[in-house]
Amino acid sequence: MKIRHLNHGICYMLYVICDRITSFNMKKIDEDYRTLLTVLCVLLSFQYSMPCVIRMQNNSLGLMKFADCKGHEYRNVPTNLTSDIDVIDLTHNNITVLRNNSFSRYSILKEIIIRFNKLDTIGIDAFAGLYKIQSIDMSDNSLDVFNVYTPDLFKHLTNVTHLDIRRNKPTIATNTAPQHYPDKAFAVLTKIAFLAVDLIPYPYFGPGFKNLQSLKTLKFENCYLKLLRNNTFAHFSSFLEELVLSGCRRNFIQTEHGVLSKFENLIKLNFAESCVHLIQALKLLYVYKNKKMETLILSSLNCVRFSTKQYPYVMTVSAEMMKYLKTICVESLDLSDNGIVDYEPNSLFSYDRPECITNMNFMGNRFSLKFGIQMNELNSFFRNAVSLKTLVYSYIAVRYKLPDRSYDKDLQNDNADNFIFLPNSLEKLLVNNIISTDFVKVFVIQKESNLRVLDLSYSLSSTSLIFQKGNISKLEILTLDGVIFVLTSMEMEQFQNFSLKKLIWRDAKLHYVVTNHNNKYASSIKKLFSKFTSLEYLDLANNELFGLFDNLLVNMKNLTELYLSKNLFESIPVAILKLNSIKVLNFQNNLLATIDSNTRDWADRMNKKHGLTLLLGNNAFECNCNTLEFIKWLKQTKVKLDRESYNCIINNGTIISTLEAYHKMDKLFFSCNSKLWLTISSLVMATCITGTFLLIVYSKRWEICVFLYQKFRNLIETKFKKQYTYDLYVSYETDSMYWIKTVLLPKVEDEWGLKVCLKDRDFLVGVSRFDIEAESIQQSRHVMFIITPSFKNSKDYLFEIERVKYEKMMKNMANILVIVKDISISDIPIELSYIWNNVSLVQWTENSEKLDIIWQRMKICLSTDCLGYFISNTVNNNNTIPHARKINAVTYGSTSNQFE
């Protein structure tokens, strides 16, 4: 990339030199050399002009000839483009200076975009010759408002209607005196309708701004503002329609009471993400009392770092604060993210003209919908808000559930206050990401509702939503991210919607219900999905899915986009191959090793029918003999893929690209045919050997049966004379008592039904402890040692170990288990090493995945039936197999050299 940019710079420099040379009288230069130099210069000019793409494009001014010169490291405005361009875009270059006559070649230019450069100087005739220019965007540069904008700077731009010079060089105030904008520079812009400039800390716009009588929109963004005085905007036109003051968070903005009095005809006011504070902003609205406004954005005004007692970060909305806002007939109202934790009666939902409101946004606050008079106001508001189309009550973190309190229960029993009837005009309802379990609330969607968009994602709330009986749903977009089906199955089964077009259900652990036919929710999910006959868009990403029911999607005849990324699919489910309308299929970030022939054929059919986009990035593709056809298909298919090539792993573990595998196929996969014949010959040989063995067994079948019958009969008759009182004797110390009581006994006695002997529970008082230990060990089928830090420091276990060794030697004991808990394996008492070959070792862990394996293997060891145990002893007596279990010691088992 750097070399390319360097070449462009060299070409431009040579082009300028050529331009100078060819402009001189070169009579002394040989005509051939002159011709050669001219050709060279033309070629260099062509090379330099290549980065700019010329095309026809529609924008706000109509169909324009557009010169796209973005990101090519230009240091000056290129002068070699076609002269009839209408728009030039020089975004992301290195232009620092606009010299005089920079655009004189392009006299019909209507729009200049020169954003994200290093522009700090502009010549007074830089825009000379631009008689048709209407729009200039010089935002995101280094222009100094006090040094650059000279009185004659804009003298050639009298026809400009759009000027954007935001986010330029910041101005830091040294005192609190008003800072005058260079109003003489802007005074010539008599036709301007849109002006976006930086706002300095203590601004004052001089009398030159009186000439801007056509101005409709005034924007300030990411500014350094500190104070707005009553006379700050005194010279602007009173016919301004839109004022934007957003992103000014560097300072706390003090405002005098009448700062907006000049803009009495304002219909759009935006203070988003500026540290004005909601209390101040609401006071400024007195100018618009009883008037009509289209948009009022008062979001994120309370900045935590400027929180004071007078202007706190968290606040309760009062009736006094709302006294001006409630009188305004506003269409779109945004009060999001203002730290609102509560509201008083006659405040937040009390408006003189609620029928005006079409959009209302409370996202990111922390107030709960309460009871009593506030609930009456809320339902009254919804009854009268007959034009409300969008309601956002999202990202509301009130609190987690606390212990029940009697007065809360009494309030919750008042069912009349729990129902919130939403207006029929509502089309979009967002109640996602809510943490509020204090009160039970029910949003009621009424019969004649026009609701089309509903988002219930990621909420931990006792608030629910129901469709009134007889409701003919018009819902088209439903988002249920993070909503677990097993927690909402009852509501889902009653969900009636045949008009749904878009369903987004991500991160909801749906693998529990769509992969196992025996799951009790399987029929419910099938029934639910069968209702989505009009669905066009389905997103089930990040659900740990590894399969789908074959007929899960069969009723979705109109499904065109299916997103199954970030799951665990190893192959494309058969359910998808039954769909005939798919245009976009996303299987990114799965475990696909290949795509089988049926899926490839289906993809080609879909692409031939209506076009198919198949997204397969970040899968576990393999490049081997089994995937050769898939590698060829990736190169040859007409299906639109997200990448030209994908990573895959070959047999030796090396990662290459599928494109490289395709081009080197003969070299990489030359052995595939030989492996095929080797496989066939191996199968033939194995079949012959197996057949011979079966013939021998068949010919000796009676002798084998008689031999096995005698052995089993003798074994059972001999060994069944032994009787046990306990299934398991446990040797332990006091620091493991709690674990035995809460973990071991519930599992072994209650769940497995085994009888356990514990010295603190089962030993009789008054009997010699050593006698009763010896007798209990003798009467136990298995023995368990629980090795803890206290166990090692005790000496009582020595007698138990010696007794266990004796019983094991006498063949009176089946299994010996050692559980190591809270210490390392290397700290196990050395005395146990004498019986190590007969021990099964357990390194206890709290890891849930390993713990399941440990319990399973312990159950097998402790539940060995008599026949299995006696067979094991009999085989050992004949020295056929060793008695010691040798299993992975990390999870469960032992090795005889663990302490060596």
Give 489's pLDDT tier (boundaries 50, 70, 90): low
| 227-255 confidence digits (pLDDT tens) | 999 999 999 999 999 999 999 999 999 99
Counting residues of the chain whose pLDDT is more than 70, the rounded percentage is 81
Strand partners, 65: 56
| 3-state per-residue secondary structure call for 288-333 | HCCCEEEEEECCCCCCHHHCCCCCCCCEEECCCCCCCHHHCEEEEE
The stretch 839-863 carries a mean pLDDT of: 78
* pLDDT for res 646: 95
| 460-480 confidence digits (pLDDT tens) | 776 677 777 766 778 899 999
pTM, whole model, 2 decimals? 0.67
* pLDDT for res 9: 46
The mean predicted confidence, pLDDT, of the chain is 82
Strand partners, 428: 390, 453
Q: Where are the domains of the chain?
A: 592-671, 726-862
Contact 49, 77 (CB under 8 A): no
The encoded tokens of residue 362 equal 């409370």
Which comes out higher in pLDDT, residue 642 or 752? 642
Helices 2-23 and 31-49 meet at what angle, rounded to 10? 140
With 0-12 CB in 10 A as exposed, 13-18 as middle and 19+ as buried, what is 261?
middle
| 705-731 confidence digits (pLDDT tens) | 656 644 554 465 455 556 678 888 888
Within 227-298, residue ranges assigned H as helices are 278-284
* pLDDT for res 817: 84
Give residue 459's identity as a one-letter amino acid code.
S
* pLDDT for res 740: 87
For the ranges 570-579, 611-620, 649-658, 796-805, which has the lowest average pLDDT? 796-805
Bridging pattern class, strands 839-843 and 613-615: unpaired
Identify the CATH class of 726-862. Answer: alpha beta
The encoded tokens of residue 653 equal 């573990």
| pLDDT above 90 (res 38) | no
| 757-791 confidence digits (pLDDT tens) | 988 888 877 677 777 888 888 888 888 888 888 87
Contacts of 603 (CB under 8 A, 6+ apart): 585, 595, 612, 614, 637, 639
**Which of 292-306, 621-635, 681-695 is predicted most confidently?**
292-306
* pLDDT for res 691: 87
- The Cα 759–Cα 728 span in angstroms is 12
* pLDDT for res 406: 42
* pLDDT for res 314: 94
Which comes out higher in pLDDT, residue 773 or 600? 600
Furthest-apart CA pair in the chain: how many Å?
132
Give residue 413's identity as a one-letter amino acid code.
N
Q: Rounded to the nearest 10 degrees, how much is the dihedral formed by the CA atoms of 704, 708, 714, 719?
A: 160
Contact 80, 50 (CB under 8 A): no
* pLDDT for res 133: 95
| pLDDT above 80 (res 317) | yes
